[in-house]
């Protein structure tokens, strides 16, 4: 998949799990690490973990092996690195604290 297709794929997979407040950020002009960030919220530790797990499993099934997944054990902020797209799934307090939209937007 190209980066735009991967972005649409990730957005679809977080939507499948009812992620809230989904934001996509185009960071191609400010990052050499990735093209897009997807930032979204989950209602609880378990919800955050489930959203991230769904993205990672669906990516594997589609032939896009995630480069990494961090925070799954804690569940406050789980990151799924798909290369051209990095998905951040957070609980509200953590999302408010780090404010990635302001940092990268």
pTM of the model: 0.95
Query: How many whole angstroms separate alpha carbon 66 and alpha carbon 80?
Result: 7
Q: Which domain holds residue 32?
A: 1-102
Say if residues 22 and 71 touch (Cβ distance below 8 Å). no
Q: What is the tally of structural domains in the chain? A: 1
Q: Is 92 helix (H, G, I), strand (E, B) or coil?
A: helix
Residue 61 sits in a domain whose CATH number is 3.30.460.10
pLDDT, averaged across the chain:
96
Residue 105 scores a pLDDT above 80: no
Of 103 and 7, more confident: 7
């Amino acid at each position: 998949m190209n980066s735009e297709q991967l972005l649409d794929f990730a957005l679809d997979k977080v939507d499948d799990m009812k992620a809230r407040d989904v934001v996509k950020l185009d960071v191609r002009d400010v990052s050499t690490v990735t093209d897009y960030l997807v930032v979204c919220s989950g209602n609880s530790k378990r919800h955050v973990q489930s959203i991230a797990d769904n993205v990672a499993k669906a990516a594997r099934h589609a032939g896009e092996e995630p480069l990494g997944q961090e925070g799954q054990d804690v569940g406050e902020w789980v990151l799924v690195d798909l290369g051209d797209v990095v998905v951040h799934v957070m609980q509200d307090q953590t999302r408010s604290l780090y404010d990635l939209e302001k940092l990268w937007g």
